[in-house]
Amino acid sequence: MGIRERLSGNEAVAYAIKQVNPDVMPAFPITPSTEIPQIVASYIANGEMDTEFIPVESEHSAMSATIGASAAGARALTATSSCGMALMWELLYVAASNRLPLALTLVNRALSGPININCDHSDSMGARDSGWIQVYAENNQEVYDNFIQAYRISEHKDVHLPIMICQDGFITSHALANIELLEDDKVKQFVGEYTPENFLLNSKEPMSLGPYAVSNYYMETKKAQTEAMKNAKKVILDVGKEFGEMSGRTYGFFEEYRLEDADYAVVIIGSAAGTTKDAIDQLRSQGKKVGLLKLRVFRPFPDKEIADALRNCKAIGIMDRSESFSGQAGPLTAEVTAALYRYKVDSNIVSYIYGLGGRDYRAEDALEVFSELEDVTVNGKEIEQFRYIGLRSR
């Protein structure tokens, strides 16, 4: 039986860290992720875990120390948000190219400027091409579950890539919710001990890490990373299934909510999925065939699986909580649209931007999106693409 508890998202992921008990955690505080290393440091001070906590002078140093610890053969992680991850930027690429299976608990927050401490996905989406696995949570239960699965995915011999566990700043990170925790012994058995094959402190097999790569080798390195990211897809599904057998909560690339017969669907990431589900339930009670695809795994990007899930929809609204400044779509819209085109899914597609800098996204907004999707399909109405939802000027 699981343990019923009421925790914020930050408390939930910190508790998961305690149960996993990694070897090293360097960290530097930044809102809204500060609570995570703070709580972990308290666990360590109270003797509840024996992780080596390293207070550093910046987020750049936090990721540098995490890389060093992982390269030395330790199970390592750090936590950050927003501009803190931006300060880590060059190290994100270093961690991925060195094939280090470390973890980052990212609490999503808008990037400056102007300065804003509230939720959007501009930080993690800005790092979408850095070579990290990216997993997102709708709620506190999911961020806990995602972290329990993280090392099993990243440390797999066919993957060896860093993993980013994302949750929405303040919306889940600071909001209390009832969740079900696993027993410590089950977590320890599921995650297992970390036994790296190659590491810097192995005196029997000296190695170099992060050398200068001339043109003859650089492309091969990137190809190897790409193959590892492809391999991660199967590992994510296998780990999610095994986690489900233990906990009763199975995870895949995405959740399909009332999508099986939907004419109109929304694709979204994170906590706003819950709001959209409320709107869907309301419309279903009126006989409307509407549904949701809530994307959990953004890297590796499950293009074919998304296309197959949405193949029978007449119209699809794709919701971005970050700007890419392409002038025509956000990053989620661009990638989902490309997947639908590649796998010959002929649906009306409408792109939306919502929730930037913590702007409210309400059930009424979701109802309006579904109304527009029906209008464009039934009446052939020309719908404004790349529209910002909830602008004060409207």
* Tens-place pLDDT, residues 141-151: 999 999 999 99
Residues in a beta bridge with 104: 78, 164
Residues 355 and 330 in one domain: yes
- State what percent of residues in the chain have pLDDT above 70: 99
Residues 128 and 223 in one domain: yes
The structure's pTM equals 0.97
In this structure, what DSSP letter does residue 76 have? B
The residue behind tokens 């020309």 is 382
pLDDT value at residue 2: 87
Domain boundary among 247, 272, 292: 247
Strand arrangement of the beta sheet that strand 133-136 belongs to? 77-80, 103-108, 163-168, 133-136, 297-299
* Tens-place pLDDT, residues 274-328: 999 999 999 999 999 999 999 999 999 999 999 999 999 999 999 999 999 999 9
User: Greater confidence, 125 or 209?
Assistant: 125
Residue 75 domain-assigned (yes or no): yes
Cα-based torsion angle of the residue sequence 49, 51, 54, 58 in order, rounded to the nearest 10 degrees: -90
Average pLDDT over residues 174-192: 98
Residue 50 domain-assigned (yes or no): yes
Residues 214 and 279 in one domain: no
pLDDT value at residue 208: 87
The residue behind tokens 């994100």 is 92
Residue 7 domain-assigned (yes or no): yes
pLDDT value at residue 123: 98
Find the CATH number of the domain harbouring 141. Answer: 3.40.50.970
Residues 306 and 216 in one domain: no
pLDDT value at residue 394: 54
The residue behind tokens 């193949």 is 311
Amino acid making up residue 21 = N
pLDDT value at residue 292: 98
* Tens-place pLDDT, residues 51-69: 999 999 999 999 999 999 9
DSSP string, 97-135: HTT---EEEEEE-PPSSS---S--SHHHHHTTTSS-EEE
pLDDT value at residue 52: 98
Residues 302 and 371 in one domain: yes
- In angstroms, rounded to a whole number, what is the distance separating the alpha carbons of residues 117 and 89? 19
Residues 206 and 286 in one domain: no
Find the CATH number of the domain harbouring 348. Answer: 3.40.50.920
CA dist list (Å): 44 to 3, 48, 189, 194: 22, 6, 21, 20
pLDDT band at 170 (very low <50, low <70, confident <90, very high): very high
Residue 273 domain-assigned (yes or no): yes
Residues 43 and 8 in one domain: yes
Residues 266 and 298 in one domain: yes
pLDDT value at residue 209: 87
Instruction: Report long-range pairs for 338-342 (Cβ below 8 Å, ≥24 apart).
Output: 338/303, 339/301, 339/303, 339/304, 339/306, 339/307, 340/306, 340/307, 340/310, 340/316, 342/303, 342/307
pLDDT value at residue 1: 65
* Tens-place pLDDT, residues 83-121: 999 999 999 999 999 999 999 999 999 999 899 999 999
Average pLDDT over residues 330-337: 98
CA dist list (Å): 34 to 41, 100, 174: 11, 24, 11
Residues 183 and 120 in one domain: yes
Residues 269 and 159 in one domain: no
Cβ-count burial 147-182 (b if 16+ within 10 Å, e if not): bbbbbbbbbbeebbbbbbbbbbbbbbbbeeeebebb
Q: How far apart are the first and last CA of the chain?
A: 50
Indicate the number of domains in the chain: 2
Residues 259 and 235 in one domain: no
User: Greater confidence, 46 or 211?
Assistant: 46
Residue 16 domain-assigned (yes or no): yes
pLDDT value at residue 261: 98
Contact predicate 33/80, CB 8 Å: yes
Q: Which domain holds residue 151?
A: 3-247
- In angstroms, rounded to a whole number, what is the distance separating the alpha carbons of residues 246 and 306? 26
pLDDT value at residue 44: 98
Average pLDDT over residues 188-201: 95
- In angstroms, rounded to a whole number, what is the distance separating the alpha carbons of residues 245 and 275? 28
Residues 168 and 67 in one domain: yes
Is the pLDDT at 215 greater than 70, yes or no? yes
Domain boundary among 197, 223, 247: 247
In which element (H, E) is residue 78 found?
strand 77-80
Domain boundary among 247, 277, 292: 247
Task: Give SS3 for 280.
Answer: helix
Residue 394 domain-assigned (yes or no): no
Write down the mean pLDDT value for the chain. Answer: 97
